[in-house]
């Protein structure tokens, strides 16, 4: 069965990173997956047809055979980047996040993620049905750190853990098919077209802002259980806003802010609020300026492939950890060009930043 279906279905059962779902079914796929002649010939209702759709989704979402079929077809469609460095980086990120997710949701151990680095050069990652995940080569090209890669992968794992892809498919098809009374009498083609249209044209996994916000919030929780810089969640949203914000959205960019999603800046600000609260309401950042207890600590320079604002969120992430863990009670020190608050790294000043000792002295005064 999978040999005949997986090539047709692979392009459809997908949630793309941070905003837009590529989840689609063509009418041909629906017709292949369901015995429309039997459904119509027997006079079965739309609800029964939906039951068959539901069963097919469950096969690809929950069985190892279905998961393997999807994995193979995603690799065929998008290509595989065998670069050993990128694959080693992704292996480490997935291992760290899997451990982090398991602390909150042990069910991940029953359905571990299948993943690969795709050859696609766009800034994207995707989680399909069945916890099949790909991270595009472009994500590694556009994002400066593994912390930011972890933030977008954590977001996708949030969708995966909450089964947003399957839920989105079921709810939207159910609404469209069952809303049309007597549709079976119109013939199988009509019903197939209704289902196919829903799957082809709608953002299914991210069908509402609640799913998107839930995935963002789960990414935050997962990152807290890792050693990654928690400021990366805000930093990656800042990066996306700088790359795509204010530009006419083309096909590649549209996934960032579909109309039924919170926009990127709001999502960034949600993370900044979380960082502020995690710090005990001591530290925050805006427009590249990091403040502590209401006093300016530093204006962060653009460096290391990041803007001032993006890099500032990494400084904020370190400060939030320090305050949350009580390291602010310890001494400020400088070692090998890096400022520490207790055992927590705060910042390694780059070209354009103030002198490391001037910053350390100010931190001692305002912390």
Distance (Å, rounded) from C-alpha 340 to C-alpha 322? 9
Domain borders along the chain are 2-212, 232-366
Query: What does 135-155 look like in DSSP terms, one character per residue?
Result: EEHHHHHH-S-HHHHHHHHHH
User: 305 Cβ partners below 8 Å, 6+ apart?
Assistant: 144
pLDDT of residue 107: 95
Distance (Å, rounded) from C-alpha 144 to C-alpha 152? 13
pLDDT of residue 183: 44
pLDDT of residue 180: 52
Environment class of 355 (CB within 10 Å of its CB; exposed 0-12, middle 13-18, buried 19+)? exposed
Average pLDDT for runs of 10 along the chain of length 367:
39 40 32 40 54 71 86 88 98 98 96 96 86 94 96 94 78 58 44 40 50 92 98 96 64 43 84 98 98 98 96 98 98 98 98 98 98
Distance (Å, rounded) from C-alpha 47 to C-alpha 88? 46
pLDDT of residue 126: 83
Helices within 180-208 (DSSP H only): 188-201
Can you give the pTM of this predicted structure?
0.81
Q: Which 3-state string (H, E, C) describes the chain? A: CHHHHHHHHCCCCEEEHHHCCCCCCCHHHHHHHCCHHHHHHCCCCHHHHHHHHHHHHHHHHHCHHHHHHHHHHHHHHHCECCCHHHHHHHHHHHHHHHHHHHHHCHHHHCCCCEEEEECCCCCCEEEEHHHEEEEEHHHHHHCCCHHHHHHHHHHHHHHHHCCHHHHHHHHHHHHHHHCCCCHHHHCHHHHHHHHHHHHHHCCCCCCCHHHHHHHHHHHHHHHHCCCCCCCHHHHHHHHHHHHHCCCCCCCCCHHHCCCCCCCHHHHHHHHHHHHHHHCCCCEEEECCEEEECCEEEEECCCECCECHHHHHHHHHHHHHHHHHCCHHHCCEEEECCEEEECCEEEECCCCCCCCHHHHHHHHHHHC
């Amino acid at each position: 069965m999978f040999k005949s279906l997986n090539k047709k279905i692979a392009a459809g059962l997908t949630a793309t990173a941070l905003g837009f779902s590529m989840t689609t079914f063509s009418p041909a796929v629906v017709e292949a997956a369901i015995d429309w002649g039997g459904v119509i010939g027997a006079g079965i209702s739309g609800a029964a047809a939906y039951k068959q759709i539901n069963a097919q989704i469950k096969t690809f979402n929950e069985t190892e055979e279905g998961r393997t079929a999807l994995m193979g077809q995603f690799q065929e469609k998008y290509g595989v980047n065998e670069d050993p460095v990128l694959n080693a980086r992704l292996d480490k990120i997935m291992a760290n996040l899997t451990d982090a997710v398991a602390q909150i949701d042990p069910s991940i151990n029953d359905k571990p993620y299948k993943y690969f680095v795709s050859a696609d050069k766009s800034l994207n990652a995707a989680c399909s049905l069945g916890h099949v995940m790909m991270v595009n080569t472009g994500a590694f090209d556009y994002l400066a750190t593994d912390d930011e890669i972890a933030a977008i992968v954590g977001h996708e794992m949030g969708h995966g853990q909450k089964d947003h892809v399957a839920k989105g498919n079921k709810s939207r098809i159910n609404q469209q098919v069952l809303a049309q009374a007597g549709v079976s009498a119109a013939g199988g083609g009509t019903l197939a077209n209704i289902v196919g249209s829903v799957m082809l044209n709608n953002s299914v996994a991210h069908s509402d802002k609640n799913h998107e916000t839930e995935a963002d919030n789960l990414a935050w929780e997962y990152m807290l259980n890792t050693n990654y810089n928690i400021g990366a969640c805000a930093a990656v949203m800042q990066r996306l806003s700088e790359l795509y914000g204010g530009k006419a959205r083309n096909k590649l960019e549209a996934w960032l802010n579909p109309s039924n999603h919170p926009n990127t800046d709001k999502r960034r600000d949600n993370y900044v609020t979380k960082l502020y609260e995690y710090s005990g309401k001591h530290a925050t950042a805006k427009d590249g300026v990091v403040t502590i207890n209401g006093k300016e600590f530093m204006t962060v320079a653009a460096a290391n492939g990041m803007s001032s604002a993006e890099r500032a969120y990494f400084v904020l992430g370190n400060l939030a950890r320090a305050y949350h863990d009580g390291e602010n009670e310890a001494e400020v020190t400088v070692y090998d060009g890096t400022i520490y608050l207790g055992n927590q790294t705060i910042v390694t000043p780059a070209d354009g930043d103030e002198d490391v000792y001037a910053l350390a002295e100010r931190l001692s005064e305002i912390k």
